């Protein structure tokens, strides 16, 4: 049996230790030695087995090819970063001038580049602030403006989002009291007007982004609420900064501010296509009040998020934007070509039309024409556990691999992954 130090001296394992860490590599060697002692491996193959058992990445998170048909998939990390954002993140990974003015040698405003980019993206905002997610933005606003006071909110907007997270619970945790108005399906301006008083911190308008209420319904828009004489906070959720013609029912920050909202909160990692972040835009005095609150320090973002956000705002179209605007006809051609190649190799594959969704709580009920490769259901597990993992969706006993969220230059990877499973 080769000694552990002798195996670790293998050049391949030396290089791996520099990338993954010595402890990870040594653990792979020890496991290979154990297999050899048990007779399942020739002692001369220990080093090869250890190399083969090494994890492909330094962290446990693995890159996934998203073929579910959901563009902003929360379980798959929501928005994939653009190449520009990835490059910016890598550049900011070491020492950086995040709070330092290189010209003067003095301390500077943290994340000034990202804040400037966000302000330029939404000129209607008097000021901007960034925290670590949209829930944090709401917490900061509620704490700074309404702790010990009332937040007026429609009963139809007391929403629950993923994993049992409820907006009402979040708001009351700040010390604010909820003043619920209207009913589940109908709320009027008169309901709000009757509730507003000396104890009102602000009126909160929440976009119910992950469900639809249809039929006998009624709600009040931001423009009407702005006449109440108290601050109006609009939580638009999905992170559109300007109107998107493909999603006419999805609110955006610019329109909400122009309609009279005093503050807007939104996510950075959904339709904006950037890193996880909570965006706060609006009246300068209110944004400054939130930014100066002691809680703002606990909710601030790190240098990597600031770099990725700035590159997202200033850079080229994000992967989410590209997927949203993908041409359905070209998707069909790609699906047909891939299915044809697979069928030639003996795989039961065919191209089928499909429907994709925005996901991430955005644009509920909106479907996007797409195209998919249909395979036998038995392909789902080996593709999902392969390298790279390919995640689709199972419908009617078939695995559908939707192409809308997959760039065309990755079709070769998809093809090799499916062929690797076998016929």
Give the model confidence (pLDDT) of 149-199 as tens digits: 999 999 988 887 766 778 899 999 999 999 999 998 899 999 999 999 999
Q: Please state, rounded to an integer, the average pLDDT across all residues of the chain.
A: 94
Which CATH fold topology does 83-315 show? 3.40.640
Confidence of residue 388 (pLDDT cuts 50, 70, 90): very high
Contacts 24+ apart (CB under 8 A), 33-39: 33/1, 33/2, 33/4, 33/7, 36/1, 37/1
pLDDT value of residue 308: 98
What integer is the mean pLDDT of 246-273?
95
SS3 (DSSP) at 117: helix
55-77 residue pLDDT tens: 999 999 999 999 999 999 999 99
Rounded-to-integer distance, Cα 265 and Cα 156, Å: 19
pLDDT value of residue 213: 72
Question: Does residue 422 surpass a pLDDT of 80?
Answer: no
Could you tell me the residue ranges of all domains in the chain? 4-53, 65-77+321-421, 83-315
Q: What percent of the chain has pLDDT over 90?
A: 89
What integer is the mean pLDDT of 197-221?
84
213-248 residue pLDDT tens: 777 778 899 999 999 999 999 999 888 999 999 998
pLDDT value of residue 361: 77
Q: What is the pTM of this model?
A: 0.92
CATH number of this structure's domain 65-77+321-421: 3.90.1150.180
* Relative orientation angle of helices 46-53 and 11-20, to the nearest 10 degrees: 30
42-56 residue pLDDT tens: 999 999 999 999 999
What integer is the mean pLDDT of 255-273?
96
Question: Does residue 119 surpass a pLDDT of 70?
Answer: yes
């Amino acid at each position: 049996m080769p000694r552990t130090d002798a195996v670790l001296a293998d050049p391949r394992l030396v290089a791996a230790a520099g990338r993954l860490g010595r402890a990870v590599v040594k653990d792979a060697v020890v496991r290979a030695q154990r297999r050899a002692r048990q007779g399942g491996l020739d002692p001369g193959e220990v080093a090869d087995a250890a190399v083969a058992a090494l994890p492909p990445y330094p962290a446990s998170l693995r890159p996934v090819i998203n073929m579910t048909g959901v563009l902003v998939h929360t379980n798959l990390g929501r928005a994939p970063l653009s190449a520009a954002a990835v490059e910016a993140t890598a550049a900011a990974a070491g020492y950086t001038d995040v709070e330092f003015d290189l010209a003067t040698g003095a301390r500077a405003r943290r994340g000034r580049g990202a804040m400037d980019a966000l302000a330029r993206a939404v000129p209607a905002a008097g000021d901007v602030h960034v925290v670590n997610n949209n829930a944090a933005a709401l917490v900061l606003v509620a704490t700074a403006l309404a702790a010990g006071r009332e937040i007026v909110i429609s009963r139809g907007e007391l929403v629950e989002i993923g994993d049992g997270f409820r907006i009402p619970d979040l708001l009351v945790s700040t010390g604010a009291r909820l003043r619920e108005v209207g009913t589940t399906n109908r709320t009027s301006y008169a309901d709000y007007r009757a509730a507003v008083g000396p104890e009102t911190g602000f009126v909160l308008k929440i976009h119910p982004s992950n469900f639809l209420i249809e039929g006998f319904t009624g709600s009040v828009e931001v423009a009407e609420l702005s006449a109440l004489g108290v601050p109006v906070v609009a939580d638009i959720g999905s992170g559109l900064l300007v109107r998107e013609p493909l999603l006419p029912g999805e609110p955006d920050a610019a329109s909400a501010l122009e309609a009279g909202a005093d503050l807007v909160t939104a996510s950075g990692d959904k339709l904006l296509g950037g890193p996880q972040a909570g965006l706060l835009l609006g009246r300068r005095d209110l944004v400054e009040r939130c930014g100066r609150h002691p809680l703002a320090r606990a909710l601030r973002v790190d240098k990597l998020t600031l770099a990725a956000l700035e590159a997202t705002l200033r850079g080229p179209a994000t992967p989410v934007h590209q997927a949203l605007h993908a041409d359905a006809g070209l998707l069909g051609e790609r699906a047909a070509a891939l299915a044809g190649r697979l069928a030639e190799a003996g795989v039961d594959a065919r191209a089928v039309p499909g429907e994709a969704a925005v996901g991430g709580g955005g644009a509920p009920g909106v479907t996007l024409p797409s195209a998919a490769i249909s395979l036998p259901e038995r392909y789902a597990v080996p593709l999902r556990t392969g390298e790279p993992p390919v995640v689709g969706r199972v419908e009617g006993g078939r695995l559908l691999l939707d192409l809308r969220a997959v760039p065309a230059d990755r079709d070769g990877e998809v093809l090799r992954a499916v062929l690797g499973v076998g016929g």
